[in-house]
């Protein structure tokens, strides 16, 4: 288990992302401090006005001052909020760019894990929660410090004793309470974010596999697991809400206690003839009107735990090393001639999947891989594409270790149809075009015909312009599968890797697609993975992959 970063280290790392926006942050702090001072001095000048009435002076002057300060309070507050949120969303945009840039380096291996829901949670809600840090944490802390210094100077002009009490009150509410509450929330914040990620992963997995859920009657099991995970998250949130209630009670109690203590101290000092009547009124009014910035800090203990937990998860991603370092060499690509898998062994998370496996791959052949579920058939395809590097042995293409082949050349040389076909909420034509961005409409239609999906597409009201729906919700599992096959045909690489290409198809479409694959193999090399030996009937050679997994 990894050691968690301290809150200070997390904040230090997140502040490093501010970059050239520091001048805006400083401006927001200064204007925010002025805004809070205006809010306090509206009340304080009312106190001066009261003293003026007692002495028989002119109260109308103070009314004008109070109205002017109130107007400036509104202006300063607006500018402060505008600057803080402009700053926050600029930084969030920067963070999203960093996250997606990092994901490109970590993919495709990172996306092959079962934690896709956690990644989605990180990219969306975790990044959004950082808005609390940048807009409602950095500036409020700095504003509270600046504000406190000014108010202590002002109150000390009345009495150093009153200033000392005010300092203790500010320290308790703005520092001790958030630190205490933050300590209580320390592990709960990260636990809540992780539970949210697990719930998202579960829901995403079930949505993508609705067909299997229905087919194998997993409705009740899915419902029970969903309730279980929701309750686990709810229990954590309940504990967090209890701590929030404690914080609110402590803050309110200290505000009342401090105000009462200031009044008692002021009366005592007055009786001792250390201060005058005006100091009682002004000190009591000053402390009553000055808790705003410190209450904001006290509330941070509730929200900052979530922000720091999200930032911790984000930093984990940004600091994660790619499983495979891309070969960025820029050289001309070459046609596929042959490949050779020689005595390879591979383990994933300390679980041995493949051991001493060898397979020569000749151009123009169809090779069928079969074996028990979990024996490593799909893994072999991904090792050929260098999602991961083998632990032992070597995979070579054209007598060159694939580690030495530029990644972009390797991608052009290969195409993969995975078991899960990702469909985006765009037109069917654009979904297919993802395999070849500069493809013409004619090329897309030809690939669709080979995949036995063309007739279905043209039967739709908008034909190829029809929107596929979120995660392909407007399509059946078989239709999504055939779009994936169309992508593979459109990419038109020399080495085509098919992972269960007919698993969601009826017998008629299976025959059509297998026929298309057979016809394509005349000038291509194809590796075909399937549980069903009947699907491998077109293979020139069938290879059984041994079962080495424990599960």
pLDDT for 3 equals 57
pLDDT for 153 equals 94
pLDDT for 253 equals 95
pLDDT digits (tens, 9 = 90+) for 327-351: 888 888 788 888 888 888 888 777 7
Nearest-angstrom CA–CA distance, 100 and 113: 17
Q: Please, which pLDDT band fits residue 212 given cuts at 50, 70 and 90?
A: low
Nearest-angstrom CA–CA distance, 326 and 240: 43
- Name the residue among 200, 102, 182, 100 with its Cα closest to residue 141: 182
pLDDT digits (tens, 9 = 90+) for 365-412: 888 888 877 778 888 888 888 888 888 988 888 888 888 888 888 888
pLDDT of 151 higher than 90: yes
pLDDT for 1 equals 44
Mean pLDDT of all residues belonging to the chain: 85
Q: Please, which pLDDT band fits residue 14 given cuts at 50, 70 and 90?
A: confident
**Structural contact between residues 317 and 197, judged by C-beta atoms closer than 8 angstroms:** no
**Structural contact between residues 468 and 432, judged by C-beta atoms closer than 8 angstroms:** no
Mean pLDDT over residues 277-286, rounded?
A: 90
Share of the chain above pLDDT 90, in %: 21
pLDDT of 83 higher than 70: yes
pLDDT of 89 higher than 50: yes
pLDDT for 35 equals 93
pLDDT for 4 equals 66
CA atoms in the 13 A half-sphere facing the CB of 481: 18
**Structural contact between residues 87 and 135, judged by C-beta atoms closer than 8 angstroms:** yes
- What's the whole-model pTM score? 0.74
pLDDT of 237 higher than 90: no
Nearest-angstrom CA–CA distance, 348 and 354: 10
Q: Please, which pLDDT band fits residue 182 given cuts at 50, 70 and 90?
A: confident
Sequence-separated (6 or more) residues with CB below 8 Å from residue 320: 102, 106, 110
Mean pLDDT over residues 273-298, rounded?
A: 90
**Structural contact between residues 348 and 511, judged by C-beta atoms closer than 8 angstroms:** no
pLDDT for 549 equals 43
Q: Please, which pLDDT band fits residue 550 given cuts at 50, 70 and 90?
A: very low
pLDDT of 548 higher than 60: no
pLDDT of 305 higher than 80: no
Residue pointed to by tokens 């419902």: 223
Mean pLDDT over residues 299-313, rounded?
A: 80
- Name the residue among 531, 537, 525, 505 with its Cα closest to residue 415: 525
Q: Please, which pLDDT band fits residue 119 given cuts at 50, 70 and 90?
A: confident
Q: Please, which pLDDT band fits residue 551 given cuts at 50, 70 and 90?
A: very low
Mean pLDDT over residues 54-74, rounded?
A: 86
**Structural contact between residues 46 and 62, judged by C-beta atoms closer than 8 angstroms:** yes
Q: Domains, the chain, ranges and CATH?
A: 7-319 (1.20.1560.10), 339-544 (3.40.50.300)
pLDDT of 501 higher than 70: yes
Nearest-angstrom CA–CA distance, 505 and 482: 8
pLDDT digits (tens, 9 = 90+) for 440-490: 999 999 988 888 888 888 898 888 898 887 666 667 777 888 888 888 888
pLDDT for 262 equals 94
User: Strand pairing partners for 346?
Assistant: 354
């Amino acid at each position: 288990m990894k050691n968690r970063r301290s809150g200070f280290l997390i904040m230090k790392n997140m502040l490093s992302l501010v970059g050239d926006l520091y001048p805006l942050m400083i401006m927001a702090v200064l204007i925010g401090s002025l805004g809070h001072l205006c809010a306090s001095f509206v009340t304080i000048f009312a106190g001066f006005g009261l003293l003026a009435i007692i002495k028989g002076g002119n109260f109308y002057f103070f009314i004008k001052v109070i109205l002017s300060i109130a107007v400036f309070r509104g202006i300063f507050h607006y500018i402060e909020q505008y600057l803080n949120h402009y700053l926050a969303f600029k930084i969030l945009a920067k963070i999203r760019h960093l996250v997606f840039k990092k994901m490109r380096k970590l993919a495709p291996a990172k996306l092959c894990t079962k934690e896709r829901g956690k990644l989605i949670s990180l990219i969306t809600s975790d990044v959004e929660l950082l808005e609390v840090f940048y807009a409602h944490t950095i500036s409020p802390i700095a504003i509270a410090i600046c504000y406190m210094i000014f108010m202590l100077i002002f109150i000390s002009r009345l009495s150093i004793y009153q200033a000392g009490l005010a300092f203790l009150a500010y320290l308790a509410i703005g520092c001790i309470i958030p630190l205490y509450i933050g300590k209580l929330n320390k592990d709960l914040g990260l636990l809540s974010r992780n539970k949210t990620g697990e719930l998202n992963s579960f829901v995403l997995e079930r949505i993508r596999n609705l067909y299997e859920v229905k087919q194998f009657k997993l409705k009740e099991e899915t419902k029970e697991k969903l309730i279980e995970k929701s309750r686990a998250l709810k229990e954590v949130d309940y504990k967090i809400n209890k701590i929030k209630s404690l914080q609110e009670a402590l803050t309110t109690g200290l505000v009342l206690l401090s105000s009462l203590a200031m009044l008692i101290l002021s009366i005592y000092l007055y009786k001792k003839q250390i201060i005058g009547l005006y100091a009682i009124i002004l000190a009591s009014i000053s402390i009553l009107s000055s808790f705003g910035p410190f209450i904001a800090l006290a509330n941070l203990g509730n929200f900052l735990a979530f922000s720091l937990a999200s930032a911790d998860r984000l930093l984990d991603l940004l600091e994660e090393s790619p499983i495979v370092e891309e070969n960025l060499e820029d050289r001309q690509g070459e046609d596929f001639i042959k490949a050779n898998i020689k005595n390879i062994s591979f383990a994933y998370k300390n679980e041995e999947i493949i051991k001493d496996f060898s397979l020569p791959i000749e151009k123009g052949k169809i090779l069928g891989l079969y074996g028990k579920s979990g024996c490593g058939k799909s893994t072999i395809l991904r090792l050929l594409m260098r999602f991961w590097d083998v632990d032992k042995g070597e995979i070579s293409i054209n007598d060159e270790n694939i580690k030495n082949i530029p990644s972009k050349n390797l991608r052009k040389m290969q195409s993969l149809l995975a078991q899960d076909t990702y469909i985006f909420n765009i037109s069917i034509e654009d979904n297919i075009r993802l395999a070849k961005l500069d493809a013409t409409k004619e090329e897309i239609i030809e690939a669709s015909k080979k995949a036995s999906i063309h007739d279905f597409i043209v039967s739709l009201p908008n034909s190829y312009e029809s929107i596929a729906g979120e995660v392909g919700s407007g399509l059946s599992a078989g239709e999504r599968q055939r779009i994936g096959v169309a992508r593979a045909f459109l990419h038109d690489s020399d080495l085509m890797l098919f992972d269960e290409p007919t698993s969601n198809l009826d017998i008629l479409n299976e025959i059509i697609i297998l026929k298309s694959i057979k016809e394509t193999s005349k000038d291509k090399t194809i590796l075909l993975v399937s549980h069903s030996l009947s699907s491998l009937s077109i293979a020139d050679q069938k290879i059984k992959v041994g079962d080495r997994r424990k599960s």
